Copies of this chain bind each other. A is one copy, B any other.
C-alpha cells in the first residue's frame, strides 16, 4: 500500500461495522428483525428469550450496579422464541446448518423438543425454523410433524427430500427477512394448525 506523505497509518475499515453484503445476516438476526417488524406493525408480539446464564460471582450486593465476574452459559430448558399471534400462543426454536443435504437433529436439545411437544398439545402454534445457509433456503416445520418423524425414524437428521414434502418454505426480504408469519397464516387457512 502506498504511504502518502503526512499520513502515518494507512486507512483501515472500521472494525465494528456490520456487513450486509454477501450471504446476509444470521438466522437469529433475521428472525429478530422480522419480530420487530411484526411488533411495529402490530401483527404479533414475539420475543426471543434471554440466553440462560448461571451466575456464580457478583461483586456488588446492589443488583442495579452489580458486576458479574463469574458466570457460565446454561442449557436452555425451553425454546428461544415465544409470543402471541391472533389470540394464540406461538412457540418455536430456530436452527441453521451449513450442510446442503441434511439437517442434523442434534442441533435441538432434548428439552426443547419435549417443550414443543407439550405446548403443541396445549394448543400453541408450535414449530421449528430450519435454515440451510449455503442454499439460502429456510423452512417452517410444525412440531407435530417433527415429533412424528422422531418417533418413527432412527436417523439423526432430516433429509432435504423429506423436508420438501413435510416442511413449508419461508420467504422474506428487508425489512421482514424471515416472514414466518405469512407461512403460518397459510397453514392456519388450510387448517393444518
Interface residues, chain A, with chain B CB atoms under 8 Å away: 39, 44-45, 47, 49-53, 55, 63-64, 66-74, 76-78, 82-91, 115, 118-119, 122-124
Contact = CB atoms under 8 A, between A and B. Distances in A.
14 contacts: A39-B118, A47-B77, A50-B52, A50-B74, A51-B53, A51-B55, A55-B71, A66-B72, A71-B71, A84-B122, A85-B122, A87-B89, A87-B122, A88-B88
A13 B82 CA distance: 43
Contact of A68 (B70, B85, B89): B70
A122 B44 contact: yes
Given A50-B74, A51-B53, 18 more contacts: A44-B122, A45-B122, A49-B49, A49-B50, A50-B51, A50-B53, A51-B55, A53-B53, A66-B72, A67-B71, A69-B69, A83-B89, A83-B119, A84-B123, A84-B124, A87-B88, A88-B88, A89-B89
Total identical chains: 2
A55 B67 CA distance: 10
Contacts of A50: 49-53, 74, 76
State the 6 A-B residue pairs at the shortest beta-carbon distance, nearest first.
A87-B123, A89-B89, A50-B52, A68-B71, A84-B122, A84-B89
A50 B87 CA distance: 24
A68 B73 contact: yes
Nearest to A74: B50
Contacts of A122: 44-45, 84-87
A46 to B, nearest CB: 10
Nearest to A77: B47
A6 to B, nearest CB: 37
A31 to B, nearest CB: 16
B45 A119 contact: yes
B72 A68 contact: yes
